[in-house]
Each structure stands twice: as C-alpha cells, then as structure tokens.
C-alpha cells in the first residue's frame, strides 16, 4: 500500500471533520464524523447516526451529502473519532465504508492511521479484492475443484 504524506488541503479536510464532531459528539449516537472533498474542491461533512439497532457511518453520510448536492466524484475523505483521552483522531474506515469509497471515489485519497502516523492512501488500496458479480470482472473465475 503506497502511502503519501498529507498536503494542506488534507489537513483542512481533517479540520472540517473535527469541527463536525466537536459540534455534534455524543458517545452513543454521534461517535464519528467525516468529511469528503469532491473534484470541485467542495467539502461535505458527514456524521455517524445511530440507535440501539441501526447505525449509519459518518463516511456514508458524507458521501450521501455530496451526492445530494450533485457535487461530482469524491477525491478525498477522512473520518475522525475520539480516543480514550477525549482527543479527536483519524479513524480508519470500516469494510462497508471502504466499499462505498471504492464506488463513489475509486481513485480518492483516504486519510488513515497507519500505526500512529496519519497518511493518505488510495481508496482502492483499502479494498484490494472488492466484491463484484462475476460478470463485472475482467477474468473468468476458476473452479477450485478442477485439477
């Protein structure tokens, strides 16, 4: 996975997600905030929403926000949460969000925590073997029982 250092616009994206979490944090229903930047440079926030049985991730919320504004393809994304000391930190996307990012921003940069260092990687690197229907692949799938 090729990681790249952050640029000023990545830090600004992080800061926007931090603002959203600071304004709306709740330890049960609003634990994560996100921000997505589109090709036009617009930034769309997202917030984790949850109940006892249903949760919608902050990244999905940010992507939906950008889609509702017909803002174009997502080119960068970050999610943040609070650590045990109450500090807001970058958090890595779950598998569902990685799949969404691959669809709505297949070449997007995603800020991640790589062993305590915040770097950015391409969304496709987070989901190297995405789920596809067989007809969506560029190959024939081998029969594992064939010699």
Q: Which of 7, 15, 19, 59 is catalytic?
A: 59
136 is catalytic: no
Cβ neighbours around 133 below 10 Å, total: 6
Spatial separation of the C-alpha atoms in residues 20 and 34, rounded to whole Å: 8
Long-range contacts of 94-100 (CB under 8 A, 24+ apart): 94/57, 95/127, 96/57, 96/60, 97/57, 97/59, 97/60, 98/123, 98/126, 98/127, 99/127, 99/130, 99/131, 100/59, 100/60, 100/63
Which token pair is 60? 């999905």
Q: Which residues are catalytic, by number?
A: 59
């Amino acid at each position: 996975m090729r990681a790249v250092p952050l640029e000023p616009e990545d830090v600004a994206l992080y800061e926007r997600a931090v603002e959203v979490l600071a304004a709306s944090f709740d330890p049960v229903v609003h634990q994560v905030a996100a921000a997505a930047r589109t090709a036009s440079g617009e930034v769309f926030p997202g917030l984790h929403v949850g109940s006892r049985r249903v949760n919608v991730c902050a990244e999905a919320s940010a992507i939906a926000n950008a889609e509702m504004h017909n803002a174009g393809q997502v080119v960068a994304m970050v999610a943040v949460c609070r650590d045990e000391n109450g500090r807001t930190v970058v958090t890595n996307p779950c598998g569902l969000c990685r799949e969404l990012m691959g669809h709505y921003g297949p070449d997007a940069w995603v800020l991640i925590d790589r062993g305590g260092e915040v770097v950015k990687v391409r969304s496709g690197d987070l989901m190297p073997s995405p789920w596809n229907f067989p007809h969506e692949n560029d190959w024939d799938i081998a029969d594992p029982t064939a010699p």
